[in-house]
Structure 1
Amino acid sequence: MSRDYEEKRDFHRMQIDCTVQLRHKATGEVLSAEGRDLSAQGFSFHAGRSFGAGAILEATVSPENTLVRPLRAEVEVVREESEGQGFLVGARILRMLD
Structure 2
Amino acid sequence: MVYKTCNAETQNGTMNNIAEKRDFLRMAIDCQLSYSKKGEKQSLEGHVVNLSSKGILFTATEKFEVGDQLDIILTPANSPKAPMEASVVIVRASYNGAVYELACEITGNK
What TM-score do you get using the length of structure 2 for normalisation?
0.79
Q: Which amino acid is the alignment partner of residue 109 of structure 2?
A: M
Higher strand share: 2
Which 5+ residue runs of structure 1 have no aligned equivalent?
none
Superposed CA RMSD: 1.7
Task: Tell me the secondary structure at the aligned position of residue 52 of structure 1.
Answer: coil
| Residue of structure 1 aligned with 2:64, choices 43, 51, 55 | 51
Equivalent residue number for residue 101 of structure 2: 88
Equivalenced residues, count: 95
- In our comparison, the structure showing a higher alpha carbon Rg is 2
- Is residue 11 of structure 1 aligned with residue 24 of structure 2? yes
Distance 1:52 1:13 in 2: 23
Equivalent residue number for residue 85 of structure 2: 72
Deviations 1:26-61 (A, max 9, x none): 443320000110001010001001110011100011
Distance 2:39 2:95 in 1: 23
What TM-score do you get using the length of structure 1 for normalisation?
0.87
Task: Tell me the secondary structure at the aligned position of residue 54 of structure 1.
Answer: coil
Counting aligned pairs with the same residue, the percent is 31
Equivalent residue number for residue 37 of structure 2: 24
Query: Runs in 1 of length 4+ with deviation above 4 angstroms?
Result: none
Higher helix share: 1
Distance 1:43 1:53 in 2: 14
Higher relative CO (CA 8 A, sep ≥ 6), structure 1 or 2? 1
Distance 1:29 1:51 in 2: 14
Stretch of structure 1 that moved more, 20-29 or 43-52: 20-29
